[in-house]
A = this chain, B = another copy of it.
Amino acid sequence: MPTKKKPTAASRPERRTELLAVAAQVFAAQGYDATTVRGIADEAGMLAGSLYHHFDSKESMADEILSTFLTGLRATCGAVLDAGLGPRDTLEALVTASFRHIGRNRAAAAIYRTEGAHLAGRPGFPRLAGVRPVLEEALSRTLERGAADGSFRRDLDTRLACRLLRDAIWGTASWHEPGAGPGQDHGELARGYLTLLLDGLTPRV
């Protein structure tokens, strides 16, 4: 029987995704530990026990939310790095793409930013445990490349700059303004940030 699926994951992938979106929202709003399975179920219009027809556990929900988000981020960063652009353009593309990915997965990003470190250390988050900080690595490599070839200041403290960029990018995940439009901002935001940052990174004329 080729249709044999995992025991508990027996629901339409459609429904799964819906439920994960709800769960992500609740996790982001209250924190993973403060979120009860019943809280998620309430929000989804069902009873707590019913969630277990779709997921193995509360942990597995969060693990899936986060690893899906991170897989997407990895793909995004990988595509940018593989595009063969120069350091400056690569940096721009990384920032822009990150903003977009975070903006499109606000809840997951918020969970990851605030609780990723704690959760990764726990058993029950296997997919989260081994994850490398992709974005940070991409930034680091790009900055070093640019500092070496003169795209950026030669005396740039790349480790510091990397952290600054990283924190700036992830910081946006916390701007919980749900009122803000979902999509179009990311572009402007990224450009604004880049203006601020690049003018500090680029060597003077």
Taking Cβ atoms with an 8 Å cutoff, the residues of A that contact B are 30-34, 114-115, 117-118, 157, 160-161, 163-164, 166-168, 170-172, 174-176, 189, 192-193, 195-201, 204-205
B192 and A175 form a contact (CB under 8 A): no
A160 and B196 form a contact (CB under 8 A): yes
Q: Give every chain B residue within 8 A of A175 (Cβ-Cβ).
A: 163
Specify how many copies of this chain sit in the oligomer: 4
Contact of A118 among B30, B157, B197, B198 (CB under 8 A): B30
A118 and B196 form a contact (CB under 8 A): no
Minimal beta-carbon separation of A171 from chain B (angstroms): 3
B163 and A118 form a contact (CB under 8 A): no
Q: Give every chain B residue within 8 A of A174 (Cβ-Cβ).
A: 117, 167
Q: Give every chain B residue within 8 A of A118 (Cβ-Cβ).
A: 30-31, 34, 114
Minimal beta-carbon separation of A126 from chain B (angstroms): 18
Q: Give every chain B residue within 8 A of A33 (Cβ-Cβ).
A: 31-34
Minimal beta-carbon separation of A161 from chain B (angstroms): 6
Q: In the complex, A199 Cα to B155 Cα: how many Å?
A: 13
A34, A117, A167, A199: most-surrounded residue (chain B CB, <10 A) = A167
Q: Give every chain B residue within 8 A of A171 (Cβ-Cβ).
A: 163-164, 166-168, 170-171
A157 to B, closest residue via Cβ: B192
A192 and B160 form a contact (CB under 8 A): yes
Q: Give every chain B residue within 8 A of A176 (Cβ-Cβ).
A: 117
Minimal beta-carbon separation of A97 from chain B (angstroms): 18
23 contacts between A and B (CB under 8 A): A31-B33, A32-B33, A33-B33, A34-B118, A114-B117, A157-B192, A157-B196, A160-B189, A160-B193, A160-B196, A161-B196, A163-B172, A164-B196, A164-B197, A166-B171, A167-B168, A170-B171, A171-B171, A198-B200, A199-B199, A199-B200, A200-B200, A204-B204
